[in-house]
Amino acid sequence: MKRPIIIDCDPGLDDAAALVLAHKVESINVLGLTTIVGNASMENTSRNALNLLDAIGWDIPVAKGASQPLARERKLSNKRNGLGKLVLQESEKQFYNIEAVDFIYNEATKNNGQLEILSIGPMTNIANTLLKYPDVKNLIKSITFMGGTTGAGNITPWAEFNMYVDPQAADIVFKSSIPLTMVGLDITKKAFLRLEDIEYFSSLNNIHGTLLSNIFLAIHNRECLWGENNIEVHDAVAFITMILPEIIKKKKFNVSIETNNKEALGSILLDYRNMPEEDKNIDVAVDIDIEGFRSFIKELVC
């Protein structure tokens, strides 16, 4: 039986890379995408998801989620589409006819506790599902999320983007008792790609390789503006660790998130004390096989 998975996302270039790779993995059954405000407005991230699925010929539902974080407003210009200079043909397909929280709950119920979720955006949709359907925590097998960091942040000195956008949502998920795996910024930044990787995917002469090379080039061009040369594909790294867990080393911690202090909002707090296993709530990725990651995605798309 293929693993039933929902991908909760806010495409976003690195989300887009994760989705292209997910389409190539035969061992999983992606039931649909749920979209959220994050890299762009919910309308734009949702439209990006539909357009991307069309580009790779993937017919799965896209259920729209929350347009704002739980406790504060996120103001984004509609001109910010989240994909930079990557251009996708406009899809004529319609969004799924139920909202993200209901889609998540329905699929969790139908799959009898086997549903897995890949969370590669702010956790608002998942938190809203837990608030509306408290019993869903017993119906989700696991959540792997790209978010947080045990080192420096990328939106403040301490906070990673997804956690900063909606720390209150992350707090609800962290306290849910659902098995969680955190793939933080400190890990995803290690597994960067290089210019020669763009050339490799471009040379494959297939739609997935071409689209990935265009995504990676768009990321590279953006990173150059910030003085970086590495092609960082954070959400794609989190996805690969979900389907290939042997490429990471994990350690379980009691993890919480700062929701009140404005200076440290969204920062991840790890309790390093020796405590009983039952008091630890999150498996945290602490290392990754970088070459294993690069080799796997190259073999996946060829």
Q: Catalytic site residues?
A: 234
Amino acid at 98: I
Task: Answer for the pair 111, 4: CB distance below 8 angstroms, yes or no.
Answer: yes
Counting Cα atoms < 13 Å in the Cβ hemisphere of 281 gives 17
Spatial neighbors of 245 by CB under 8 A, at least 6 apart, are: 181
What's the maximum distance between 2 C-alpha atoms anywhere in the chain? Answer: 55
Residue with tokens 């389907």: 243
Task: Answer for the pair 64, 41: CB distance below 8 angstroms, yes or no.
Answer: no
- Residue of 288, 196, 291, 194 lying closest to 246 (CA atoms): 288
Using CB atoms within 10 A of its CB, is residue 18 exposed (0-12), middle (13-18) or buried (19+)? buried
DSSP state of 273: S
Distance CA 50, CA 66 (A): 17
Residues 250, 251, 254, 259, Cα dihedral to 10° = -40
Task: Answer for the pair 52, 59: CB distance below 8 angstroms, yes or no.
Answer: no
Residue 251's CB is within 10 A of a number of other CB atoms, namely 13
Distance CA 176, CA 172 (A): 6
Distance CA 99, CA 125 (A): 10
Residues shown for the chain:
302
Report CA Rg, the chain: 18
